[in-house]
Amino acid sequence: MAESMRPVEAVSKGGDGYGVLFWAAAVWFALVVVAAVAGDLFPLPDPDRISPADKYLPVLSEGHLLGTDQLGRDILARLVDGSRISMIISFVTVIVGISVGGLLGTTVGYFGGKIEAAAMAVVNIALSFPALVVLLGVIAMVGQSLKVLTIVFSLLAIPAYTRFARASAISLKQREWVAASQMMGATTPRVVGLVLLPEVLITLVTFGLLALGGVIVAEGAIAFLGFGVPPPQATWGGMIADGNRAFADDIVHVALVPATTMFFTIVSLNLLGDGLRRRLQVREAQI
C-alpha cells in the first residue's frame, strides 16, 4: 500500500505537480528546439565560414561568445546549426516509432494468440541485431546523408516501440472501459483505434521523451566516429571529434562546449520524461 502511494506523493509536492528541475529542463529543451527551428534568424556568423586568423579563440572572445574551432569557425553558430541535425533525426525517429510501432504493438497486444506470437518473433529478431552495426553497414552501402541517417534510425526504432506498445496494450485491455466499449457494440477497429490506441500513445510519449536523448547520443556517436552527416555541416558529435583533436594543444573548449550542450539536453529530456511518467502513474491510478 505504501509503495503504491509513492508516485502520488512525489507528484503532489508543489502546486502544479512538477518541480523546479522539471521546468528548468523544459526551458532548456525549449531553447534547443528554438535554436534548431529558428537558428537562421539569430545574428550569428556563418557557421561554415573559415578564418585561419581566428583559430582557437577562447570563450568570451569579441565577436565569438563561445570561441572558435581549429578552422576559425564560430562555435556558437555551429552549435546552433548542429542542433538542427540532432532535432531532425531524433524527432523524426521518435514520431515514426510512436506512430508505426504504437499501432503495431497495440494491435498485436489486443488480439494476442498466434498473431501476437508471430509479430513478436519478428520484433525479437529485429532487436537481436546490433543497431550500431546495422547503421554502419547501411551507411557503408548507400553513403552518408541526413536522409539516410533519419530513415535508418526511424526503422531501427520501430521494433522497440512495438514491444513497449504491446506490453501497454496487454495491460490496458483488461480495464473496465475497454470491456464497456465492447459490450456497447464497438467494432474491433474502433476499440483498437479509438479506445485503446490513444491510451497507449500517452504512455509512448513518455517513452519517446526518454528515447529522444538516446537518439541524440547515438547520432552524436556516429558523427564522432566520422559516419554522420558529412562536413561542412555541423553536428554536435562532429564538433566533439574536432575538439578531441585539439586536446593535444591543451585547448578544451572546442570539445567541452558541444559536449556540455549535449549533456544538458539529454539530462533535460530525462527529467521531462521522468516527470511525465510520474504524472502518468497518478492518471492510471485514477482511471
202 within domain boundaries: yes
Please give the pLDDT value at position 105.
93
141 within domain boundaries: yes
18 within domain boundaries: no
57 within domain boundaries: yes
Q: Which residues of 74-83 are buried (b: 16+ CB within 10 A; e: fewer)?
A: bbbbbbbbbb
Place of cell 558529435: 237
Please give the pLDDT value at position 8.
41
Please give the pLDDT value at position 167.
92
Cβ(215)–Cβ(89) under 8 Å?
yes
Q: What tens digit of pLDDT does each residue of 80-98 get?
A: 999 999 999 999 999 999 9
76 within domain boundaries: yes
Q: What is the span of the domain harbouring residue 160?
A: 2-10+24-286
- The CATH code of the domain that includes 50 is 1.10.3720.10
How many structural domains compose the chain? Answer: 1
Please give the pLDDT value at position 191.
78
CA distances from 143 to 10, 201, 225, 239, 282 (A): 48, 34, 14, 20, 46
17 within domain boundaries: no
Q: Give pTM, 2 decimals.
A: 0.86
Spatial distance between the Cα atoms of 191 and 155, rounded to a whole number of angstroms:
27
Among 260, 258, 251, residue whose Cα is nearest residue 58: 251
Q: What tens digit of pLDDT does each residue of 110-141 get?
A: 888 898 899 999 999 999 988 888 988 998 89
246 within domain boundaries: yes
